């Protein structure tokens, strides 16, 4: 009897793979044995499949660390904790809070695994806050040779630097040691504001708030801005546990249902975009947090995103923030590109990670989203051209059309990353056709 080929799909449904096998190892020794013995098609580690690019796709093997999730150890004294790489982000807050610790920042959903989020440089917003990859101070991984290595700044520095953001190309990361901060609560506020005025005051907001971002439905003249600041000394009584956090992220709210109807209207009657953008700006501002809402950080950062979309995101230098945003909106309007979604604008601190989009420069990120059933490249093609004209670098997990030759010129430590990759995986067991396009020049 033939065993049916498993089917793997990403969150948006745009990427499908039919691997020969999906491995679900229970520990590092089992995983190491499987990798050592493997001689077939590419091995691709996968988290929750929240990347929009085919990073995890393979007709060989997909590795899931669903059985390697949870906290290994935590020390409030050193402010560090070690977690399994298969841990979903929604588990991390409650697990760390029990030890008085918390992540310094998070993205706007918590469905990803640590392996995937750190593997792509997932970030939130805040001028003084780097991506999740910047919190990593130690990595344990199983390499292409099936060796289990633990690396940090003192022990194999080169491999450690590459492993802080590696899009699953060095092997399977099994554990991360993270530098954390004491557990904290956040005060959330949001408001609708004139778009041009917001762009003119960006630097003021950037330094005034620990976290500042805005959403701009591009046919509207107002944006919905959002800030988060530490509520010093406040310890909210409500503490959601892991089950509560998991359920919260899957809940489809009435607003989300209404938004899905609007999305369908825009798909069938594209010229309604402009009208809906003004309506959605008003609705979103009205539905956002009233000043004074204080919750624990891990409850505050994520929202439930149950409407499917595809997304492109570019990081551009912070000094070009306003100009790039204006140019993007002007282009969408000039070409009358339909979409139901807003542009999301965030700040990210510069880092020194070799292939991080924030390498060596203070950045802002511009994200555009599109209904998977609509032509996404009308919007993404325009956004990519604009962002690249400002020196933009793409998010590794979001749509882009760049190849190895583009990255070579973009990242000064590109060659060092490739050397570390070849050392960790000399037989290219983790190199899928898509990764070859990203890493090797001359591939179509």
Ligand X SMILES: Cc1cc2nc3c(=O)[nH]c(=O)nc-3n(C[C@H](O)[C@H](O)[C@H](O)COP(=O)(O)OP(=O)(O)OC[C@H]3O[C@@H](n4cnc5c(N)ncnc54)[C@H](O)[C@@H]3O)c2cc1C
Which residues form the interface with ligand X (CB under 6 A)?
A: 11, 44-51, 55-56, 65, 85, 107-109, 112-113, 115-117, 119-120, 122-123, 167-168, 172-173, 305, 395, 397
Question: Nearest residue to ligand X, using CB?
Answer: 116
Residue 235: count other Cβ atoms within 10 Å of its Cβ.
Answer: 11
Question: In sequence order, what are the beta bridge partners of 315?
Answer: 365, 393
The distance of closest approach from Cβ of residue 200 to ligand X in the complex, given in angstroms and rounded to an integer, is 25
Residue 350: count other Cβ atoms within 10 Å of its Cβ.
Answer: 16
The distance of closest approach from Cβ of residue 91 to ligand X in the complex, given in angstroms and rounded to an integer, is 12
Instruction: State residue 157 phi and psi, 5-degree precision.
Output: -55, -40
Instruction: State residue 429 phi and psi, 5-degree precision.
Output: -65, -25
- Nearest CA-CA partner of 364 in 385, 386, 393, 384: 393
SS3 state at 217: coil
The distance of closest approach from Cβ of residue 22 to ligand X in the complex, given in angstroms and rounded to an integer, is 12
- Residue 126 vs residues 4, 212, 214, 227: alpha-carbon distances, Å: 46, 6, 12, 9
Whose Cβ is closer to ligand X: residue 26's or residue 333's?
Answer: 26
The distance of closest approach from Cβ of residue 115 to ligand X in the complex, given in angstroms and rounded to an integer, is 3
The sign of the dihedral angle between the CA atoms of 253, 254, 255, 260 is positive
| Dist. CA 60–CA 17, nearest whole Å | 9
Whose Cβ is closer to ligand X: residue 325's or residue 399's?
Answer: 399
Whose Cβ is closer to ligand X: residue 235's or residue 257's?
Answer: 257
The distance of closest approach from Cβ of residue 313 to ligand X in the complex, given in angstroms and rounded to an integer, is 7
The distance of closest approach from Cβ of residue 398 to ligand X in the complex, given in angstroms and rounded to an integer, is 6
Whose Cβ is closer to ligand X: residue 122's or residue 363's?
Answer: 122
| Dist. CA 9–CA 203, nearest whole Å | 40
Residue owning tokens 């969408």: 332
Whose Cβ is closer to ligand X: residue 116's or residue 263's?
Answer: 116
Whose Cβ is closer to ligand X: residue 11's or residue 238's?
Answer: 11
């Amino acid at each position: 009897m033939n065993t049916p080929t498993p089917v793997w799909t990403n969150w948006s449904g745009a990427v499908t793979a039919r691997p020969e096998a999906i491995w679900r190892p229970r520990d590092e020794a089992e995983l190491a044995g499987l990798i050592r013995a493997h001689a077939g098609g590419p091995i691709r580690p996968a988290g929750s499949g929240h990347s929009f690019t085919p990073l995890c796709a393979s007709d060989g093997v997909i590795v899931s660390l669903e059985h390697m999730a949870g906290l290994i150890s935590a020390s409030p004294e050193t402010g560090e904790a070690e977690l399994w790489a298969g841990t979903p982000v929604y588990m991390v807050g409650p697990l760390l809070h029990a030890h008085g610790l918390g992540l310094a920042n998070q993205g706007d959903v918590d469905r990803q695994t640590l392996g995937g989020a750190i593997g792509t440089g997932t970030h939130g917003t805040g001028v003084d806050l780097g991506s999740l990859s910047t919190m990593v101070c130690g990595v344990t991984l199983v390499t292409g040779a099936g060796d289990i290595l633990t690396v940090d700044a003192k022990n194999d520095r080169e491999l450690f630097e590459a492993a802080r953001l590696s899009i699953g190309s060095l092997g399977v990361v099994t554990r991360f040691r993270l530098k954390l901060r004491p557990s904290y609560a956040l005060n959330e506020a949001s408001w609708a504001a004139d778009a041009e005025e917001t762009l003119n005051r960006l630097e003021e907001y950037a330094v005034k708030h620990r976290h500042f971002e805005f959403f701009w439905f591009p046919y509207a003249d107002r944006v919905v801005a959002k800030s988060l600041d530490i509520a010093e000394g406040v310890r909210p009584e409500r503490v959601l546990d892991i089950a509560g956090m998991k359920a919260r992220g899957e809940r489809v709210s009435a607003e989300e249902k209404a938004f899905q109807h609007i999305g369908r209207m825009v798909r069938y009657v594209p010229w309604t975009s402009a009208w809906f953008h003004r309506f959605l700006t008003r609705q979103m501002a009205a539905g956002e947090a009233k000043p004074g809402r204080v919750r624990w950080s891990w409850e505050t950062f994520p929202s439930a995103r149950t409407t499917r979309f595809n997304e492109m995101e570019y990081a551009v230098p912070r000094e070009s923030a306003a100009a790039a945003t204006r140019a993007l909106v002007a282009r969408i309007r000039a070409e009358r590109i339909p979409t139901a979604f807003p542009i999301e604008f965030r700040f990210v601190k510069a880092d020194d990670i070799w292939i991080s989009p924030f390498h060596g420069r203070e950045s802002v990120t511009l994200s555009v989203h599109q209904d998977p059933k609509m032509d996404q490249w009308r919007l993404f093609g325009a956004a990519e051209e604009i962002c690249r004209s400002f020196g933009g670098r793409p998010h590794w997990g979001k749509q882009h059309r760049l190849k190895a030759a583009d990255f070579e010129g973009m990242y000064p430590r590109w060659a060092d990353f490739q050397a570390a990759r070849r050392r960790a995986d000399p037989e290219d067991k983790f190199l899928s056709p898509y990764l070859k396009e990203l890493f090797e020049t001359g591939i179509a």
